[in-house]
Amino acid sequence: MTRTASNAATAEPDASSAAASGVEVGDNSLDQLIGYNLKRVYILLQMDFREALAADDLSARVFSALSVTVEHPGISQSDLARQLGIERSGLVAIVDLLEQRHLVQRVAVPGDRRVQALHPTDAGRETYARALATVHRHEEAFFDMVTPQERDQLLAILRKIRRTAE
């Protein structure tokens, strides 16, 4: 600050170039970038998702951990972390939460005293079933401006990218 603009950087900044009026949205290079649009859509989706799963008091991360645990009972935390693409250290808090809420149990494995196998409880399975239904309804609603074909295309493309880049 202090320096109140004059010969500072060439092209005289006269504060009259584009501002003042409305600044219409949607005419940026950003809007031509897949990455930027992906980010914006992801943010929208997360907000919606949070709201949708608020009833079951589940965040996206906790939901995904519960999902894999229910569908792979007995999975180790290391394998779960690998599957979710996060660090083992980051998973601890998530499993702590699931265990506190009696949705998942850490069970000692006879053969190997290092690993804690994760098993869903009945409540865990029920909560998951309910939450999954909610999520499906949520996706239906969120993507309702997109045709079923486009939804299929979107999913297929995203999966293709993951398969290659992951």
Partner DNA sequence: CCGGGATTGTTTAGCTGCTAAACTGTTATA
Partner DNA sequence: TATAACAGTTTAGCAGCTAAACAATCCCGG
The residues binding DNA (CB under 7 A) are 43, 50, 59-61, 76-79, 85-92, 95-96, 106, 111-117
* Residue choice 85, 89, 113, 114 for contact with a second copy (CB under 8 A): 85
Q: Which of 2, 7, 27, 113 binds a second copy (CB under 8 A)?
A: 27
Q: Judged by CB under 8 A, does residue 38 bind a second copy?
A: yes
In DSSP terms, 11 is beta-bridged to none
Q: 3-state class of 107 per DSSP?
A: strand
Amino acid at 159: R
Residue 6 has, within 13 A of its CA and on its CB side, a CA count of: 3
**DSSP structural state of residue 32:** G
Q: How far apart are CA 120 and CA 79, in angstroms?
A: 15
**Residue 89 touches a second copy, criterion: CB under 8 A:** no
Residue 154 sits in the site that holds a second copy (CB under 8 A): yes
Which residues within the stretch 62-81 sit at the binding site for a second copy (CB under 8 A)? 64, 67-68, 71-76, 79
